[in-house]
Amino acid sequence: MAVIAALSMNAEMYNEMTYTKRGTTFTLVAQKAQAVQLNIYTEGTGGKAIKTVAMKKGPKGTWKAVVKGDLKGRFYTFNVKQGGKMLGENPGMFAKAVGVNGKRGAVIDLAATNPAGWENDKALGYAPTDIIVYESHNRDISVSRKEARYPGKFMALTEPWAIDHLKSLGITAIHLLPSFDYASVDEEHLDRPQFNWGYDPLNYNVPEGSYATDPFKPEVRVSEFKQMVKALHDAGIAVILDVVYNHTMDINNSNFQRTNPDVFYRKRADGTYSDGSGCGNETASDHPLMRQYMIESFNYWAKEYHLDGFRVDLMGIHDIETMNLIRKSLPEDIFIYGEGWSAGTCAYPAEKLAMKVNTYQMPGIAAFCDDMRDALRGPFNDDHQGAFLAGLAGHQESIKAGIVGCIEHPQVDYSKVNYSKKPWAAEPTQSMAYISCHDDMCLVDRLKTSIPGIGIDELIRLDLLGQTAVFTSQGVPFMLSGEEMLRDKKGVHNSFKSPDSINQLPWDNLQKYPQVFAYYKGLIALRKAHPAFRMGKAELVRKHLEFLPVGEGLMAFRLKDHAAGDQWNDIIVVLNANKHACMVDVPEGTYTSVVAAGKVDLDGIRTTTTSRLEVAAQSALIVHN
Ligand code: CA
Q: What is the mean predicted confidence (pLDDT) over 449-454?
A: 97
Averaged pLDDT score across all residues of the chain: 97
Task: Give the pLDDT confidence of 233-285 residue by residue, as tens digits.
Answer: 999 999 999 999 999 999 999 999 999 999 999 999 999 999 999 999 999 99
Task: Indicate the pLDDT class of residue 5, thresholds 50, 70 and 90.
Answer: very low
Query: How many whole angstroms from 484 Cα to the centroid of ligand 1?
Result: 30
Query: How many whole angstroms from 219 Cα to the centroid of ligand 1?
Result: 14
Interior angle at CA 311, CA 257 and CA 387, nearest 5: 120
- State the pLDDT at residue 9: 45
Q: 395 pLDDT exceeds 90?
A: yes
Task: Indicate the pLDDT class of residue 1, thresholds 50, 70 and 90.
Answer: very low
How far apart CA 623 and CA 210 sit, in angstroms, is 48
Task: Give the pLDDT confidence of 454-480 residue by residue, as tens digits.
Answer: 999 999 999 999 999 999 999 999 999
Q: 172 pLDDT exceeds 50?
A: yes
Q: Which residues of 13-26 are buried (b: 16+ CB within 10 A; e: fewer)?
A: bbebbebeeeebeb
Pairing state between β 105-106 and 133-136: unpaired
Query: How many whole angstroms from 326 Cα to the centroid of ligand 1?
Result: 25
How far apart CA 622 and CA 582 sit, in angstroms, is 14
Interior angle at CA 439, CA 384 and CA 595, nearest 5: 75
Query: How many whole angstroms from 186 Cα to the centroid of ligand 1?
Result: 7
Query: How many whole angstroms from 583 Cα to the centroid of ligand 1?
Result: 56
How far apart CA 51 and CA 210 sit, in angstroms, is 29
Query: How many whole angstroms from 192 Cα to the centroid of ligand 1?
Result: 15
Query: How many whole angstroms from 63 Cα to the centroid of ligand 1?
Result: 27
Q: Which residues contact 560 (CB under 8 A, 6 or more apart)?
A: 544, 545, 546, 569, 570, 571
Task: Give the pLDDT confidence of 8-26 residue by residue, as tens digits.
Answer: 444 789 999 999 999 999 9
Q: What is the mean predicted confidence (pLDDT) over 361-383?
A: 98
Query: How many whole angstroms from 189 Cα to the centroid of ligand 1?
Result: 11
Query: How many whole angstroms from 519 Cα to the centroid of ligand 1?
Result: 38
Query: How many whole angstroms from 184 Cα to the centroid of ligand 1?
Result: 7
Q: Rg (Cα) of the chain, in Å, rounded?
A: 25
Residues marked active site are found at 313, 339
- State the pLDDT at residue 12: 87
- State the pLDDT at residue 440: 97
- Report the 10 Å Cβ neighbour count for 61: 15
Query: How many whole angstroms from 187 Cα to the centroid of ligand 1?
Result: 6
Q: 365 pLDDT exceeds 80?
A: yes
| Beta bridge mates, 502 | none
Is residue 503 classed as helix, strand or coil in its secondary structure? helix
- State the pLDDT at residue 4: 46
The DSSP secondary structure of 565-600, one letter per residue, reads G-SSS-EEEEEE-SSS-EEEEEEEEEEEEEEETTEE
Write out the H or E segment, with its range, that includes residue 305: helix 288-305
Task: Give the pLDDT confidence of 58-94 residue by residue, as tens digits.
Answer: 999 999 999 999 999 999 999 999 999 999 999 999 9
Q: What is the mean predicted confidence (pLDDT) over 398-405?
A: 98
Give the range among 7-16, 161-170, 208-217, 428-437 with minimum mean pLDDT. 7-16
CB 438 within 8 A of CB 242: no
